[in-house]
Amino acid sequence: MIQFEVQLGTRAYPIYIGAGLLGEPRTLKQHIRGNHVFILSNERVAPLYLESVCRALEPKHILHLALAEGEDTKSLQTLEQVYTCLLENRCGRDTTVVALGGGVIGDIAGFAAATYLRGVDFIQIPTTLVAQVDSSVGGKTGVNHALGKNMIGAFYQPQCVIADLECLHTLPDRELRAGLAEIIKYGLIRDAEFFAWLEDNVERLLARDVDALTHAVHRSCRNKAEVVAEDELEISGARAMLNLGHTFGHAIETGLGYGQWLHGEAVACGMLMAARMSTRLGWLSEEACERTRALLQRAQLPLTLPETLQAETLLEHMARDKKVRAGQLHLVLLKDIGQAVLTGEFPASTLKDTLQEFCGS
Ligand code: NAD
Ligand code: GLY
């Protein structure tokens, strides 16, 4: 088992990575202070992994709620359902909330823990690759609002993160590939050596080789932990780098209608758009841009947009992005592989040309 810490002073916590950790009581139990545990999962994950977690928690008093699958569940209505369950069962401040699932479950459970009785303990057990390498680390929690994704939330760090690689065996291929996009992101923004390792090992990851997955999850979490330790609340700009490809990606997701492409798929295409735009600006070499395209393609991520999507539509969605400051859109772009910059210093025409290159109109 690999263990290391997200260094956040009094809010520091360990990340455990390994195969078979769910059924291992010591790791989980040492982070539970009281006798009451509330496990939040969903209808797909619970039948697969709930029993192992419950066994590892014996003889604690366990309450469980399984939500419906999907992004639509990440809502204020669901949150109300969670609070009602906790209140009806008289859960007190000695309750630990455990998120067992992907990013949707982790985000809801984390926000419920942050706000129930003004804050109770919280543990992340991520079961998707996206959740293991991204959403379970760093304390961003929340739900969607009809007017925007992730608009209601809080920074709330967990007691620990337990990433059991065996959970990835039941993950659909498409969800695994979406996780690969977030892994490649760390190589592109700050870890050129990891990017080169991914170039040598992407097929092993697609084949779910446990050693390769262990290395990739570990290196990704280390990168994320370092960024979060530097800029927990996304103030200095360091954490904003994690949004490489996301402004383009959100525009693609909105333009196509949520649910058409997975978030990781849209981010993959968005990262290539950011790379192409960086090359147009003369910041990123053609060779580095081609390496980016080739790796994303070998990870079997979509890199061309449906013809129905127009550059003008994408531009409109991007203008509404959270990263618009004083009317100026800011984007994470690349100076090199492993070197990202957050900037508003680019001609609008370069962005437009990049979008047109991908949209064809
Ligand atoms: P998800 O939680 O919807 O999970 C994807 C699918 O996989 C679901 O259908 C789920 O039921 C299923 N699943 C989960 N674990 C499984 C397993 N082991 N075997 C088989 N099926 C399994 O999606 P996700 O990609 O994990 O997360 C996306 C969500 O995370 C989005 O809401 C996004 O906004 C959020 N997110 C948050 C952060 C953050 O920092 N908090 C970062 C990235 C993404
Ligand atoms: N997923 C981006 C962040 O945690 O900041």
H or E element, residue 123? strand 121-126
Judge whether residue 333 has pLDDT over 70: yes
- Name all domains of the chain by residue range, CATH numbers in brackets: 2-170 (3.40.50.1970), 173-358 (1.20.1090.10)
Which bound ligand lies closest to the C-alpha atom of 223? 2
Is any atom of ligand 2 closer than 6 Å to the C-beta of 140?
Answer: yes
pLDDT band at 23 (very low <50, low <70, confident <90, very high): confident
Ligand 1 contacts CB of residue 220 (under 6 A):
no
What's the confidence (pLDDT) of residue 361? 59
Q: Which of 288, 266, 302 is nearest to 333 (CA)?
A: 288
Residue of 156, 224, 235, 246 to mutate, ligand 2, most atoms within 8 A of C-beta: 224
Judged by its nearest atom, the ligand closest to the C-alpha of residue 136 is 1
Compute, in angstroms, the gap from residue 140 CA to the centroid of ligand 2.
Answer: 7
Catalytic positions: 118, 140, 182, 224, 234, 239, 243, 246, 250, 263
The count of other CB atoms within 10 Å of the CB of residue 245 is 28
Q: DSSP readout, 66-121?
A: EEPSSGGGSSHHHHHHHHHHHHHTT--TTEEEEEEESHHHHHHHHHHHHHGGG--E
Q: Look at residue 206 in the predicted model and tell me its pLDDT.
A: 98
SS3 (DSSP) at 15:
strand
AA letter at 37: V
Residue with tokens 């545990």: 37
Q: Is the pLDDT of residue 71 over 70?
A: yes
What's the pLDDT score for residue 319? 85
pLDDT at residue 284 greater than cutoff 70: yes
What's the CA gap between 200 and 80, in Å, rounded? Answer: 46
